[in-house]
Amino acid sequence: MAASVVKKRKYNDEYINYGFTSILADGIEKPQCVLCFKVLGNDSMRPSKLKHHLTTIHPQFAERYPDFFKRHERSLGNRLDESVAFQQQNLSVVEASYEVSIEIAKKKKAYTIDETLIKPCALKMVKRVLGKASERKIQQISLSDDAVKRRISEMSDDIMKQVIQEIKSSPTGMFAVQLDESADVSSCAQLLVFVRYVFLSDIKDEYLFCTQLETTTTALDVMEKLTSFFKANGITWENFCGVCTDGAPAMLGSKSGLQKRVRENLCRGMDSEHETLLFYPKVRWLSTGNVVNRVFELRGELKLFLEMKGKDDLLSHFNEVLWEPRLVYLADIFEQLNWLNLKLQGKERNVFHHMDCIRPFIDKLQNWQRKVNAGNVAMFENLSTVLD
């Protein structure tokens, strides 16, 4: 079978509008920024990715006219050529150092393995197979303990910066987090935080950060860590839309748990009956009805909130004629299902008790269906009120 051929992208003169010229590296045409001289891969030779680099790395120049970038290209032409030549000379050596470092991190090996085992073995193999000249080139690769540690730290910081920048530039502006608190091998409490957001028409799940809980592991400690990280990286709570945690009391506590602290702020000041929305955990069936009922009770406050935030796509649902009756119907029917669910729980329950509960409920559903077909919805208290 013939091997597939990857089509190489070509530079377009219009790409200078995004601050990019082109260079030839390893026989492949690649885009190069005229502001920071960074060379991107050939697959980035497309307007969306070039524009993303300009708006995220050089936002202060995003609104400049093409002549600005053309002057930069002409005035720095010689400097770019010299920079590229120098980079090409040392790029392979630096890349090799990073590639070895990331493999060590993936395999969870100690930093010392690089200097004490990997590099000595590589030097011997290259000298034996390729000769002393190649051995001298391999010798230039920095693989000391400090170098490997620094490389891994730099890659970690760079990934975190990219994730934070993608969160800020998300088209919806919204993000959700998932948290987990656990102990490491030294029995120290560690807080792991993952984030979910929309970027380039795709939902992304990324690791955000890990930090140590030095003293206690209460909801207040977790909240302080989150707030501190958000403040340090310019992330606002206003764009926070969801949180997922484990079942620990510190996370789910109704009085002082993390989720309660996160949810406080939405309806305060509106004189609402409730000050918070409820979150829906899949492991708790009863929360389905509670969440729907709370959304119905706060539908006016939610509509005002969406208007203030300019969320027209979500606001359009609130303005639909049949949206409110459908919502209140779900609230009523889930209330009945929750009532049945509660009767099936508890100690000393058996299959006979369950059948005594389920059979009358099925008969009731059939009776309700006949009444609904006749136009009678009196058994659904909230729905009948809304329709009246």
Report the C-alpha gap between 238 and 265 in whole angstroms. Answer: 10
Specify the pLDDT at position 83.
Answer: 55
Phi, psi of 112, rounded to the nearest 5 degrees: -65, -20
Specify the pLDDT at position 252.
Answer: 46
Residue with tokens 């990280």: 229
Specify the pLDDT at position 280.
Answer: 46
7-31 tens-digit pLDDT? 678 888 888 888 888 877 767 888 8
User: How far from 169 is each of 33, 67, 104, CA to CA, in Å?
Assistant: 20, 26, 32
Helix (H) or strand (E) holding 67: helix 66-75
User: How far from 351 is each of 231, 314, 329, 355, CA to CA, in Å?
Assistant: 54, 44, 30, 6
| Percentage, residues of the chain above pLDDT 70 | 82
Report the C-alpha gap between 179 and 213 in whole angstroms. Answer: 13
Please say if the pLDDT value at position 255 is more than 50: no
**pTM: predicted TM-score of the whole model, two decimal places:** 0.45
Angle at 293 between CA 289 and CA 295, to 5 degrees: 120
Specify the pLDDT at position 283.
Answer: 42
Nearest to 166 by CA among 329, 52, 318: 52
Nearest to 324 by CA among 350, 353, 293, 299: 299
110-168 tens-digit pLDDT? 888 888 898 899 999 999 999 988 888 888 888 888 888 888 888 988 888 999 999 88
| Percentage, residues of the chain above pLDDT 90 | 2
Cβ atoms 189, 181 nearer than 8 A: yes
Per-residue pLDDT, averaged over 312-317, amounts to 81
30-53 tens-digit pLDDT? 888 888 878 888 888 888 888 888
Transcribe 244-259 into DSSP letters: E--S-HHHH-TTT-HH
User: How far from 205 is each of 49, 87, 175, 176, 259, CA to CA, in Å?
Assistant: 20, 34, 10, 10, 20
